[in-house]
Amino acid sequence: MDKHRGSRLSELFGSLGSFFRKCMFCILSMGPIPNHFAFIMDGNRRYAKKEKLEEGAGHRAGFSVLMSMLKYCYELGVTYVTIYAFSIENFKRKPDEVQNLMDLILEKIEGLLKEESLVNKYGIRVYFIGNLKLLSKPVRVAAEKVMKATANNTKCVLLICIAYTSCDEIVQAVHESCKNKWEEIQPCNSHKSFSGRVEEVDGKSIDDGIGHSVQELFGVQTNELRATRASTFCNDVANGVERTDKKSGVVGHAVHGSCDKWGEVQSLEASRTGDGVIPNVKSEKLLVDLSILKVVDIESHMYMSVAPNPDIVIRSSGETRLSNFLLWQTSNCLLYSPNALWPDMRLWHLVWAVLDFQRNHSYFEKKKKQF
């Protein structure tokens, strides 16, 4: 009898809590609502130590809070939520601790596919962001399974950063951008005639019997030297350093904007004459245009390219460091740092974060327009 009465009271208070939360969210919705929340879940180990819990209990308590925060965010109308689950730097912790965390992550990943899970209730698409090759095979396979299973969900998006650091993200994005840029340049080999002769390039006749591809304009004669020079050129350009190739005089530098020259390369191929010669080609100008690495190229290869930049980053425990998290994406982003450890985070912390965002919204909008 007492159990039944206690259960009914619990349901009543739960319903009242849900009602008041909806009322509060309706009031908040009168102002701008962040489209993208990012969470740095700091303080799980300190919480366990403070509460004298066994190792790993703090992370389990933190996961329960995470589920509540996700529910609040999606009820509020937030579309994107990103969480910093496991840094590459965390692999440097004690092996036993890392293994316990991996076991917990695997357990929770598998739980995302259960019928009653938050993912299915709110129609959430899940992405795992980071260098997934660093994960153990069971965790990696489970993550891929969840991403595939939720690929058709369109209401909300959850991005789980695991085996992630922003430095690693930027490095791989620059690497992939340089690789793609080099592959774009390859069609310019069509400048090389079948007879080993190009009639005219920028008004200069070239006839040395061996033909001139883009690689040769760069002054590259061997595959090994070609790879070395291309890598150096791309790395310097990616770092924003003006780079001039001594033999060709080609200058590369990083700029904003987008200019795809692929169609121009194809038109060059179409202009080839019957004997394989391309006359009057502005090849060096084309080569310069093709070799420019742009911000949009790098951003398209970021792990986080599947989502817009965050509007607000919440880091628990009062810390104001980003700890190598979304450094590229947070230049115009509010950082909110409540003193509570992550397992102590509650609804009112989220509400205060939204109010802080609304108070500073006009300022951040002006800053975005400047860019």
3 state DSSP class of 156: strand
The two tokens of residue 262 are 């692929």
The two tokens of residue 25 are 């969210």
Which DSSP string corresponds to 325-353? SSTTT-TT-EEE--SS-GGG--HHHHHHH
Has 42 been annotated as catalytic?
yes
Q: In whole angstroms, how far apart are CA 189 and each of 198, 217, 250, 361?
A: 11, 10, 16, 51
C-alpha angle 153/157/161, rounded to 5°?
130
Q: Rounded to whole angstroms, how far apart are CA atoms 48 and 33?
A: 33
Sorted by sequence, the CB contacts under 8 Å of residue 143 that are 6+ apart come out as 109, 128, 132, 135, 160, 162
Q: In whole angstroms, how far apart are CA 345 and each of 12, 49, 357?
A: 23, 17, 18
Residue written as token pair 């650091």: 165
Beta-carbon neighbour count of residue 46 at 10 Å? 14
Beta-carbon neighbour count of residue 25 at 10 Å? 16
Q: Rounded to whole angstroms, how far apart are CA atoms 71 and 119?
A: 10
Sorted by sequence, the CB contacts under 8 Å of residue 216 that are 6+ apart come out as none
Residue type, 308: P
Which DSSP string corresponds to 234-272? HHHHHTT--EE-TTT--EE--BSS----HHHHHHHHHT-
Q: Rounded to whole angstroms, how far apart are CA atoms 84 and 248?
A: 46
**Catalytic pick from 2, 42, 236, 260?**
42
Active site residues: 42
